Structure 1
Amino acid sequence: MIEITAADGHVFSAYRSDPTGSAKGVVVVLQEVFGVNSHIRKMADTFAAQGFIAVAPCLFDRIQTGVELGYDEASVTQGLDLVKQVGFEHAMADIQATVDAFSGEGKVALVGYDWGGYLAYNAANRVKGLSTAVAYYGCGIVNDFSQRRKVPTLLHFGTADPYIPLSQQIIFRANRPDLRVYEYPAGHHFACDERDTYDAASSGKAWTMTLIHLTHRLEGPPEVTLKNQGAYASSGGKDKKKKPAAISDDMEPPM
């Protein structure tokens, strides 16, 4: 665990996981309402195994440190209460502090789950220094038809999610062509292998799309070398043969 200091002086913990080689960029993993528990740490380790520096800020530290809740009803109630006590603005402040702390390590992305998905979606337009954001089944996102993206944003939803009805997802997608939205035949928390709602197939597909998206946005697309590129570049293109004026490649009807 490491410590990060927010702009208002609040010091909070964060779980950090590093890749074995050079980093492709930074992934800030945003927690569910259950704290930075084993699932969130596992996701951070998984991103690190793919070559990213991964860090999961403990967003509940403003109220209570070391929070790791289970998935029973009592834990859900406790987690939601902590969410209310922390507040949206304090969560944004701590996310900004985390991004600032790691901005020197490369391009930074947010990946959030559940409450963290909602925070990632909103932070994409509020937090400075981001390259992209990815949100998994963030409740409340589909109610927003107004925000246009400042950075590319990828969303994952389950079509059988009882908290985010498919009818709302359909309306949301129709009104938000600025977003990349993927849907899976699964319920809420389908990417958490510690819960009975886990769907391996859907989770695997979402992971593939997330990894492709992050690699492209943080590391960049692979370089493409064109045939004879060097010779053409050295001549400034001056040695390119001109076609006779009578020859046209535009496939327009003959005059």
Structure 2
Amino acid sequence: MQVTTDWTTLDEGLSAYVATPAESRGTVLVAAEIFGVSGHVRDMCDSLARRGYTAAAPDFYWRAGPRLEFGYDDEGRAEAMEHMRGLSRENVLADLEAARALAGDAVPAIVGFSLGGHIALLAATAAPYVLAVDFYGGWTIDGGVPLAEPEPPLADAASIAAYGTPVMILAGADDHLIGDDEWNRIGQRLTNYGVSHERVRFAGVKHGFMCKDRPEWDEAVAHDAWERVVAALRKRLG
């Protein structure tokens, strides 16, 4: 399918990388890792567009500088962590609200990776989405970063249930951010508040398995996980 890509201004200094198919089935917001709207995130947007979805990845770091992108080495990670700690719930939710305008009157989906997985669940506490997908998002139930203040997203699972947003969570069983106890408590929290959800945990797989630029990349598992997401989008967006 023919796809058009470009950076689009959404509001004031906020822009988003947008991949648009010739005919769109619906809109999917894509929330990036701590490394910014990287090549990996742009590839995910392009993949969604080839499947028929308008995909938009907002630049949440724009207040610190336009289109900041960091490497996966130690230096890049340290810079990315510093900028991630500068994100606030208020600003991220404002950026998501601006990005939702790309869907017009329709309700979008949201897919997030790592930090973006956290953001996807946060988004689902504040507005309806046809689907919220969390790829190995950290700090979602216990907090630990400024973005999780005053409380982490799943502390407000009741709001996710009230908006009726179904949640999909995909993670590796060897993920250093999400241990067995946390994984189980996440499931219990979603169940207890009546959130429709699907959780998939891949044996022997580490954090970051979707990103081919990271040593943790697992091609077979990444393909499996992505097909699950696409199937869920087909069910809800067509």
TM class by shorter chain equals: 0.7 to 0.9
Give the structure-1-normalised TM-score.
Answer: 0.78
Deviations 1:175-229 (A, max 9, x none): 422322111121100111111101122212211110111111122xxxxxxxxxx
Q: Which residue of 2 aligns with 1:109?
A: 109
Distance in structure 2 (CA, Å) of the matches to 1:146 and 1:58:
25
User: Does 2:178 correspond to 1:181?
Assistant: no
C-alpha contact (below 8 Å) 2:29/2:56 kept by paired residues: yes
Percent identity at matched positions? 27
Q: Which residue of 1 aligns with 2:166?
A: 152
Distance in structure 2 (CA, Å) of the matches to 1:123 and 1:145:
13
C-alpha contact (below 8 Å) 1:25/1:105 kept by paired residues: no
Distance in structure 1 (CA, Å) of the matches to 2:188 and 2:132:
20
Q: Which moved more, 1:59-68 or 1:136-145?
A: 136-145
Deviations 1:111-146 (A, max 9, x none): 00011110101111113x522211100001243365
Secondary structure of 2:130 counterpart? strand
Q: Which residue of 2 aligns with 1:55?
A: 56
Q: Which residue of 2 aligns with 1:82?
A: 83
Q: How does 1:59-208 map to 2 (within 5 A)?
A: 59-99=60-100, 101-104=101-104, 106-127=106-127, 129-143=128-142, 144=154, 147-148=157-158, 149=160, 150=163, 151-177=165-191, 178=195, 179-185=197-203, 186-208=205-227
Distance in structure 1 (CA, Å) of the matches to 2:16 and 2:95:
10
Distance in structure 2 (CA, Å) of the matches to 1:163 and 1:198:
16
Give the AA of the match of 1:36: V
Q: Which residue of 2 aligns with 1:249?
A: none
**Structure 1 outlier segments of 4+, above 3 Å:** 142-146
Give the AA of the match of 1:204: H
Kindly state the Cα deviation for residue 106 of structure 1 after the two structures are TM-superposed.
4.0
Give the structure-2-normalised TM-score.
Answer: 0.84
Q: How does 1:242-253 map to 2 (within 5 A)?
A: none
Distance in structure 2 (CA, Å) of the matches to 1:27 and 1:75:
27
User: Does 2:10 correspond to 1:4?
Assistant: yes
Secondary structure of 1:124 counterpart? helix
Give the AA of the match of 1:91: V
Q: Which residue of 2 aligns with 1:209?
A: 228
Q: Which residue of 1 aligns with 2:149?
A: none
Unaligned runs of 5+ in 1: 220-255
Unaligned runs of 5+ in 2: 1-6, 143-153
Aligned-residue RMSD, C-alpha: 1.6
Distance in structure 2 (CA, Å) of the matches to 1:11 and 1:200:
36
Distance in structure 2 (CA, Å) of the matches to 1:27 and 1:175:
25
* Structure exhibiting the larger radius of gyration computed from Cα positions: 1
Q: Which residue of 1 aligns with 2:47?
A: 46
